[in-house]
Amino acid sequence: MNLRGMMAIYKFEMARTGRTLLQSIVSPVISTSLYFVVFGSAIGTRITEIGGVPYGAFIVPGLIMLTLLTQSISNASFGIFFPKFTGTIYEILSAPVSHVEVVLGFVGAAATKSVILGLIILATAGLFVPLQVAHPLWMLLFLVLTAMTFSLFGFIIGIWADNFEQLQLVPLLVVTPLAFLGGSFYSIDMLPDVWQKVTLFNPVLYLISGFRWSFYEIADVGVGVSLGMISVFLGICIAIVWWMLRTGYRIKS
């Protein structure tokens, strides 16, 4: 294994965050704080609690997931799209690194950033509302698995995208709506019956539900189901990435 090669990619990607610290860390923290002000304070005066958890605290796991999804995708997709776009990917293609090493380098860095960001947001949230984490290890597991899965998904988008518009398209049109509709800000039993059923098709619901369970032991679906669903998504993403790199899809003619 070319561990040095993999670490070179990983460190390079981590260093890129250092240069764009403002976009990478500060802006998600600010937008999360804004959500707290708007949802937590404004709506929280109407909805005082859900399932025995104060509304402000209830939305914390959903908010973290929201950021985790969007940041994982944008970090990973940009990380691989940019060298493809500028042509510097030639060096990675010509280097003695395997596909697995390339993916671990890029996706590992994107996931690491997301997890750090998630923890920063968690800490920020602690400034606004009283927090309690019932199962810290489960919480970390969900955090890491989700970050990895969606970083892989971002990697796929980055390889697939031909231009910056396409790069923004999927996160904007698919992921953000799914995240909002996946129960970030409410419990699905607050929805009419039909919508509850529809929501069960939303993969993000399972992430948020499981993650929230690790905080407050309340969930829309069983925690085992959540874990299973994340594993399925992870498996699908791995399979797609494997196929892409094996065939050289859009990076190797």
Phi, then psi, of 131 in degrees rounded to 5: -110, 155
Q: Rounded to whole angstroms, how far apart are CA atoms 253 and 245?
A: 12
Please give the angle made by the CA atoms of 58, 63 and 65, to the nearest 5 degrees. Answer: 110
Q: From residue 64, give the alpha-carbon distance in Å to each of 38, 74, 118, 179, 222.
A: 16, 15, 6, 11, 20
Q: Rounded to whole angstroms, how far apart are CA atoms 27 and 89?
A: 28
* Residue placing its CB nearer to another protein in the complex, 13 or 220: 13
- Cβ-based burial of 18 (10 A; exposed 0-12, middle 13-18, buried ≥19): exposed
Q: Which of residues 16-45 bind another protein (CB under 8 A)?
A: 19
Q: Retrieve residue 51's tokens.
A: 């399932």
Indicate the SS3 state at residue 54. strand
* Residue placing its CB nearer to another protein in the complex, 15 or 34: 15
Q: In angstroms, what is the minimal distance from the CB of 158 to another protein?
A: 16
Q: x-or-dash pattern for another protein, window 63-102, by CB under 8 A?
A: -----------------------xxx-xxxxxxxxx----
Q: In angstroms, what is the minimal distance from the CB of 247 to another protein?
A: 9
* Residue placing its CB nearer to another protein in the complex, 1 or 198: 1
# residues contacting another protein (CB under 8 A): 25
Q: In angstroms, what is the minimal distance from the CB of 3 to another protein?
A: 8
* Residue placing its CB nearer to another protein in the complex, 106 or 153: 106
Tell me which residues touch another protein (CB under 8 A).
2, 4-5, 7-9, 11-12, 15, 19, 86-88, 90-98, 248, 252-253
